[in-house]
Amino acid sequence: MVDEVTAPLEVADEAALLDDLRAGRADAFERLVRAYGGRMRSAALRLLRCAEDADDAVQDAFLSAFRSLDSFEGKARVGTWLHRIAINASLMKLRSRRRASDTEAELEELMPRFAPSGAFARAQVAWSEDPDDPLEREELCAHVRECIDRLPDKFRVPLVLRDVEGLSNEEIAAQLGVSVNAAKIRAHRARQALRTLLEPRFGALHEEAAP
């Protein structure tokens, strides 16, 4: 069932809402919050993993959106525009509470190893199938979330922005204030690290090479 409160608006309704916002109509801001707040909070929660911080980020995002309403040219959908603002507000929040333990060393341990020839140092084993049973699947998803949480934020955030929020490398680079290449490398390394963390779950523990 579609939740009417958080369902995205049609293009015509968006245009009408924007007109009302710009005209300063009393209920327009509340309509905007109710229509898009749920989806923005989802994105904030995925990045921040803390309900209280996600609420703060949503509030900051709406205030920031309202202040920049005049510069919104309507080239993107309102939902897309607000989604990006929510991500930006979440990243600001994240930066303010960054842990000191975000080191690259812990990620290095999770990268694949190669022999000097460039071949894999150990044989790679095919993963077993994903479970079909809904309960097992939900349990697997919980495990995946735990593994994602173990990644340092420097790598976890580009992975979430890329593979969950659907941002391009260019958008991630702009949000994080890094080069496109750095954003791309971080997301790739995060996927590789996560692959290593998930590996034991799929019965694909490395087999030692035969002597």
**Beta-ladder partners of 197:** none
Report the nearest approach of another protein to the CB of residue 76 (Å).
Answer: 21
DSSP string for 145-173: HHHHHTS-HHHHHHHHHHHTS---HHHHH
The stretch near another protein (CB under 8 A) out of 14-22, 74-82, 102-110, 197-205 is 197-205
Question: x/- binding map, residues 69-108, to another protein, per CB under 8 A?
Answer: ----------------------------------------
The residue whose two tokens read 């989604």 is 83
User: Taking the complex as a whole, how short is the minimal distance between the CB of residue 39 and another protein, in angstroms?
Assistant: 7
Task: Report the residue number, 11 or 115, with the smaller CB distance to another protein.
Answer: 115
Nearby residues of 29 by Cβ (< 8 Å), 6 or more positions away: 21, 62, 66
Contact between residue 204 and residue 127 where contact means Cβ atoms under 8 Å apart: yes
| 152 near another protein, judged by CB under 8 A | no
Look at the block and give the residue holding tokens 């340092």. 152
Rounded-to-integer distance, Cα 176 and Cα 92, Å: 10
CB of 95 to another protein, least distance (A): 20
Cβ atoms 67, 39 nearer than 8 A: no
Q: Which two tokens stand for residue 180?
A: 């496109």
Contact set with another protein (CB under 8 A):
3, 5-6, 29-30, 33-34, 37-39, 41-43, 45-46, 51, 55, 58-59, 62-63, 66, 112, 114-127, 130, 138, 140-142, 144-145, 148, 159-160, 163-164, 184, 187-188, 191-192, 194-195, 198-199, 202, 204, 209-211
